[in-house]
Amino acid sequence: MDDQLHLGEDENMLVLRRAWDRAMHTLANRVNKPSFESWFKSMKPVSYDGERVVLGAPSPFACEWVSKRYGNLVREVLCQHLGKTVEVSIVHLPPEKRPVLGEPPAEEAPSVRREPAPPLEPEPIPYEKPILNPKYTFENFVVGNSNRLAQAGAMSVARAPGQSYNPLFIYGGAGLGKTHLMHAIGHQVLQEHPRLRVAYLSGETFAQQYIAALREHRIDAFRQKYRNVDVWLVDDIQFIAGKEHTKEEFFHTFNTLYQMGRQVVFASDRPPRELHALDDRLRSRFEAGLIADIAPPEFETRVAILQKRAQIEGIQLPEQVAYHIAYAIEGNVRTLEGVLISIAARASVHGKPITLQLAEEVLARHYVDEKQVPHVPTEQAVLQAVCQRFGVSTQDILGDQRSREVLMARQVAMYLLREKAQLPLQQIGQMFGKNHSTVLHAYNRVKTSINRDKEITRIIYDLNTVLEH
Ligand code: ADP
Ligand code: MG
């Protein structure tokens, strides 16, 4: 680094140059590489009077961009390295006027003109606010292990678009909340950064609009529309794969936005590696950002989603009914909510509250396939699964051990041997050296706890899953 006092330079300027050099290292770690390369590398310290710092950027656009996006970050980092609080303004400094290393800043450089750069004339590019579902907010999104990473990634890009993960790629099966998260990003950005342009569209819409633009010779307008957004949210991008021309246009749009440091978010029903027909260049770009999957929600998350939805819709949902629905429906949140809505509709039509019985009826009639032949596990399979779940040994549960785990494991095993392995009470009694009424008692206790006791429900649910495969 150039550590000498330059001709015509004061102490302050030397201090600023040193601090800016160190600040650049910090910034390189704080922003993503494309942003750093395109914005920060070409910036230069211009002047410092001990209170106010002026930095120069090579174009009016860069100047506005950095001020708007990174203004606070730059000030924070610079203050930290200067060891004091200063005001920072960023001005447009044409390249020929920028101080060259070893030369003092030219006399007419705006070191005397300390006011921030005037705002740019807004470009006359048409922009329509995206249409977003008002219910798809972060607040209404229930977080569990199955979607934690995707939610955190979405939140982080919404808070600081272009500055954390870029691109963000969310994938997962149907009805697991991808579209909900995309809309939530849109809402949050518009709320926190009202001046940013947000576009939300599906891969299919992109393809259709592109084809229409080609046909009607409006390709320039089409390009302008998407290449000038700050946050580009593209849902269901699997539709793009395999469409030759659209794919190419899509790639260029992405590239343009990405190189300008704009935030890009994609959602897809499959991971990038399975988007075979998509451009390899595009896929390797995904890897530079964050790829987050959403898995089907676990039991607890399903219960929480039902309760949240009931709260939003003003539905009185007894806890055990929530357990019951969550127990019966897995995999698709849309179906889960569909069941809740149809139970609520029925209750309201009859002017009755929601009961377990009503839930059972609706489920049996519409959602659970009764013709399915249940799989009957062997007694070994049951014992092994139970022991593994509770972390106890077979000797423990077949013997007389009476710790809480063992007692619970024993009762659960008795229940499952009857319910799933379909063994007679007598035979189960013999296995455990107990009479059949003890077995019946254990069986009933577990049975009545299902859908009432969260822990037992969860355990039985997990064990059923294990035993069905
Ligand atoms: P996808 O786009 O993945 O097919 P959606 O985002 O359309 O799924 O979600 C389907 C429905 O499930 C929506 O009504 C959505 O609000 C709801 N949903 C999905 N996941 C959650 C969640 N974690 N919390 C609350 N609601 C959810
Ligand atoms: Mg969707």
Q: What is the pLDDT of residues 364-373, one digit of tens each?
A: 877 765 445 5
Smallest-distance ligand from the CA of 141: 1
pLDDT-wise least confident of 35-39, 95-99, 429-433: 95-99
Nearest CA to ligand 1 atom 16: 180
Inter-CA distances, 210 with 38, 132, 207, 217, 221, Å: 29, 22, 5, 10, 10
Decide if pLDDT at 119 tops 60. no
Q: Is the pLDDT of residue 121 over 60?
A: no
- Report whether 380 contacts 425 (CB < 8 A): no
CA of 178 from ligand 2 middle (Å) equals 5
Most confident of 72-81, 118-127, 197-206: 197-206
Residue 84: per-residue pLDDT = 83
- Predicted confidence band of residue 374 (pLDDT cuts 50, 70, 90): low
Q: Are 327 and 297 in contact (CB under 8 A)?
A: no
Helix (H) or strand (E) holding 148: helix 148-159
Whether the ω angle into residue 167 lies within 30 degrees of 0, i.e. cis, is: yes
456 has a pLDDT exceeding 60 = yes
The protein residue whose alpha carbon is closest to atom 10 in ligand 1 is 175
Ligand nearest to the CA of 235: 2
Q: Minimum-distance ligand to the CA of 238?
A: 2
Give SS3 for 55. Answer: strand
Greatest mean pLDDT among 27-41, 170-184, 369-383:
170-184
What residues contact residue 329 under an 8 Å CB cut-off, 6+ apart?
Answer: 302, 335, 336, 339, 363, 367
Task: Pick the range with the lowest mean pLDDT from 92-96, 114-118, 210-214.
Answer: 114-118
Ligand 1 atom at shortest distance from the alpha carbon of 294: 3
pLDDT in tens, 216-238: 999 999 998 888 899 999 999 99
From ligand 2's centre to the CA of 190, what distance in Å? Answer: 20
Amino acid identity for residue 120 in this structure:
L
Residue range 306-328: mean pLDDT, rounded = 94
Residues 6+ apart with CB under 8 A from 233: 130, 182, 185, 186, 198, 199, 200, 201, 265
Residue-level pLDDT at 2: 56
Closest CA to 153 of 253, 286, 256: 286
Q: Are 197 and 231 in contact (CB under 8 A)?
A: yes
Mutate to test the pocket of ligand 1, among 143, 176, 238, 312 (most ligand atoms within 8 A of CB): 176
What proportion of the chain, given as a percentage, has pLDDT over 90? 48
For residue 159, report the distance from its CA to the centre of ligand 2, in Å. 22
pTM exceeds cut of 0.85: no
Q: Is the pLDDT of residue 122 over 80?
A: no
Q: How far is the CA of 155 from the centre of ligand 1 (A)?
A: 16
Nearest protein Cα to ligand 1, atom 4: 175
Q: Atom 18 (ligand 1): residue with closest C-alpha?
A: 177
- Given a cut of 80, is residue 61 above it in pLDDT? no
Mean pLDDT over all residues of the chain?
85
| Average pLDDT of span 387-410 | 92
Q: Which two tokens stand for residue 37?
A: 């390369």
179: Cα within 13 Å, side-chain hemisphere: 14
The partner residues of 50 in beta bridges, in order of sequence, read none
Radius of gyration over every alpha carbon of the chain, rounded to an integer in angstroms: 31
Atom of ligand 1 nearest to the CA of 143: 23
pLDDT of residue 114: 39
Find residue 267's DSSP bridge partners.
170
What spacing in Å lies between the alpha carbon of 304 and ligand 1's midpoint?
A: 13
Which among 266, 269, 333 is the best mutation to test ligand 1's pocket, defined by most ligand atoms within 8 Å of the CB?
A: 333
Atom number in ligand 1 closest to CA 297? 23
Residue nearest to atom 25 of ligand 1 (CA): 141
Please determine, for residue 342, whether its predicted confidence score (pLDDT) is greater than 50: yes
Q: Are 242 and 209 in contact (CB under 8 A)?
A: no
Letter for the amino acid at 362? V
| Helix/strand/coil (H/E/C) assignment for every residue in 280-315 | HHHHHHHHHCEEEEECCCCHHHHHHHHHHHHHHHCC
Atom of ligand 1 nearest to the CA of 142: 24
Condensed to tens digits (0 to 9), the pLDDT of residues 24-37 reads 888 888 888 777 87
Determine contact, residues 178/218, Cβ cutoff 8 Å.
no
Among 156-160, 305-309, 369-373, 390-394, which is the least confidently predicted range?
369-373
Residue where the block lists tokens 């005397």: 112
Instruction: Please determine, for residue 9, whether its predicted confidence score (pLDDT) is greater than 70.
Output: no
List the one residue out of 347, 359, 350 whose CA is nearest residue 315.
Answer: 347
CA distance 283 to 260: 19
Which among 289, 331, 323, 294 has a CA at the least distance from the CA of 306?
Answer: 323
Residue 190 confidence (pLDDT) above 70 = yes
127 alpha carbon – ligand 2 mean position (Å): 24
Listed residue (126, 151, 150, 157) closest to 138, CA to CA? 151
Atom of ligand 1 nearest to the CA of 144: 23
What local confidence, expressed as pLDDT, does residue 444 receive? 93
Residues with CB under 6 A from ligand 1: 136, 140-142, 147, 172, 174-180, 305, 308, 333-334, 337
For the CA of 236, the closest atom of ligand 1 is 2
Distance from residue 333's CA to the centre of ligand 1 (Å): 6
Q: If you measure from the C-alpha of residue 172 to the centroid of ligand 2, how many angstroms do you get, rounded to a whole number?
A: 9
Atom of ligand 1 nearest to the CA of 308: 25
- Which ligand is closest to the CA of 306, given by its number? 1
Taking the CA of residue 336 as reference, the ligand 1 atom at the shortest distance is 12
Which pLDDT score, from 0 to 100, does residue 213 have? 94
Contact 466, 385 (CB under 8 A): yes
Percentage of residues in the chain having pLDDT higher than 70: 89
Contact indicator for 190, 259 with CB cutoff of 8 Å: no
Amino acid at 163: Q
Cα angle 287, 292, 298; round to 5: 160
What's the 88 CA to ligand 2 centre distance in angstroms?
43
Nearest CA to ligand 1 atom 26: 141
Identify the three-state secondary structure at position 69. Answer: helix
CA distance 52 to 11: 14
Per-residue burial over 320-358, b if 16 or more Cβ lie within 10 Å, else e, is bbbbbbbbbbbeebeebbebbeebbeebeeeeeebeeeb
- Of ligand 1's listed atoms, the one at least distance from the Cα of 140 is 25
Confidence tier at 116 by pLDDT (50, 70, 90): very low
The best mutation among 334, 335, 340, 341 to test binding of ligand 1, ranked by most ligand atoms within 8 Å of the C-beta, falls on 334
Determine the pLDDT at residue 94: 61
Query: Residue 47 is inside which H or E element, if any?
Result: strand 44-48
Average pLDDT over residues 439-464: 90
Select from 88, 19, 82, 54 the least CA-distant residue to 1.
Answer: 19
Q: Which residues contact 260 (CB under 8 A, 6 or more apart)?
A: 38, 65
